Structure formats: structure tokens, C-alpha cells
């Protein structure tokens, strides 16, 4: 009999699944060291949506693998064959206000607001800096979250723990 602890499945949501949610997925899968399994999706990704190249660039620059990162609809995670989530975190204000699917297993939910680094008409250098700042903001919060003791991550407390970090 295996005593292997199952990772906590976390789904990060935003509208297009091209920037913030992709950054959060990659960061958590690195920072979480197997204790967490992160996924990401969008409420309405555009047809043929791909992760923003600037997001991929900032991840690679800090040594985080981008293999397998791709944009997808949140419908992928609402079906019966989808991995069951323990926690769903919206990372953009638009997705936070949308009517979400009914998630199997009734996971805990939280909203962590980040400005969209892909918005605006700045120079390439300014856009890259916006992605870098967003990456570091998400990283700070995920480092705090991933360092929580197991007792704070039990299903009943998961939502409270994640929501408290929205203010940090």
C-alpha cells in the first residue's frame, strides 16, 4: 500500500489563458515541488490562442520550463474525465465576474487580482517589464501559498487560506 500524498490540484483561470494564468501554472508547478499540480484555462480563449510570447520569455529567463504550456478553455476541466481540482483561483477581474462551470468535487475558490501585462500600447521593453512585474507578483504570492503548513491546506481551510493571500 502506498502512502504517497496526492498533490493539491490548482486551476488558474483568466479570460484568454495566454498570460497571467499561464504564468501562475508554470510558477506553481515549479515552486510547488510536487506538492501542488497546477493547471490553467480561460473562460473564452480566442480561436488558435497561444500563450503570449513575452510571458514565455520571462518564464524562460528565470529558468522555468515552458514545455507543454498551451491555451485552453475551462470547459476542458469541467468534464467527468478531467482531473478533480481542489482549488480554483481566478487571476483576472473579468474571469472572476463570469459565471463559471459547476466544477466536479466543489473545489475551494479564490480571486487574486493582477493587471493584464499584455494590455497597453507601450514599447516592447515596457511590455516585457509589465510581464516581469506580473511574474514576480504572482511568484511572491505563490511562494507564500506553497509554504503554508499542511493543516492550512486541508479542503475546509484551503479557500480561507487562498483568499487571505489575495490581500498580501
Look at the pTM and tell me if it is higher than 0.85: yes
pLDDT at 95 over 80: no
**In the predicted model, what is the mean pLDDT of residues 144-162?**
78
Decide if 164 is inside a domain: no
pLDDT per position as a tens digit, 11-30: 999 989 999 999 999 999 99
Average pLDDT of the chain?
A: 88
pLDDT tier, 104 (very low <50, low <70, confident <90, very high otherwise)? confident
Decide if 162 is inside a domain: no
Q: Residue 89: phi, psi to the nearest 5?
A: -120, 120
pLDDT per position as a tens digit, 69-92: 999 999 998 888 889 899 999 998
Decide if 165 is inside a domain: no
- Looking at the structure of the chain, the number of domains it has is 1
pLDDT per position as a tens digit, 41-64: 998 888 888 999 999 999 999 999
H/E stretch holding 24: helix 20-31
pLDDT at 1: 44
Tell me if 154 sits within 8 A of 87, measured CB to CB.
no
Decide if 168 is inside a domain: no
Q: Look at 23-32, 60-69, 92-101, 120-129 and tell me which has the smallest mean pLDDT.
A: 92-101
Decide if 163 is inside a domain: no
pLDDT at 96 over 70: no
Taking the C-alpha atoms of residue 27 and residue 135, their distance in angstroms, rounded to an integer, is 8
Of 135, 150, 165, residue with least CA distance to 28: 135
Strands (E), 22-104: 36-42, 87-90
pLDDT at 11: 96
**In the predicted model, what is the mean pLDDT of residues 133-151?**
94
Decide if 125 is inside a domain: yes
In which domain, by residue range, is 122 found?
Answer: 8-157
Tell me if 57 sits within 8 A of 23, measured CB to CB.
no
Decide if 148 is inside a domain: yes
pLDDT at 99 over 70: no
Strands (E), the chain: 8-14, 36-42, 87-90, 108-111
CATH number at residue 108: 3.40.50.2300
pLDDT at 156: 52
pLDDT at 111 over 80: yes
pLDDT at 106: 77
The strand pairing partners of 62, in sequence order, are none
Amino acid at each position: 500500500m502506498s502512502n504517497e500524498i496526492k498533490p493539491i490540484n490548482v486551476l488558474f483561470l483568466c479570460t484568454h489563458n495566454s498570460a497571467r494564468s499561464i504564468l501562475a501554472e508554470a510558477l506553481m508547478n515549479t515552486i510547488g515541488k510536487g506538492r501542488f499540480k497546477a493547471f490553467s484555462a480561460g473562460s473564452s480563449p480566442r480561436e488558435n490562442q497561444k500563450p503570449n510570447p513575452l510571458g514565455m520569455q520571462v518564464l524562460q529567463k528565470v529558468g522555468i520550463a515552458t514545455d507543454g504550456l498551451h491555451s485552453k478553455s475551462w470547459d476542458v476541466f469541467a468534464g467527468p474525465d478531467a482531473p478533480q481540482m481542489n482549488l480554483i483561483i481566478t487571476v483576472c477581474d473579468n474571469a472572476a465576474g463570469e459565471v463559471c462551470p459547476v466544477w466536479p468535487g466543489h473545489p475551494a475558490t479564490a480571486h487574486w487580482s493582477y493587471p493584464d501585462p499584455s494590455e497597453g500600447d507601450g514599447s516592447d521593453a515596457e511590455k516585457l517589464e509589465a510581464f516581469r512585474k506580473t511574474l514576480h507578483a504572482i511568484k511572491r504570492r505563490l511562494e507564500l501559498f506553497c509554504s503554508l503548513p499542511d493543516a492550512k491546506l486541508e479542503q475546509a481551510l484551503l479557500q480561507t487560506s487562498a483568499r487571505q493571500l489575495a490581500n498580501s
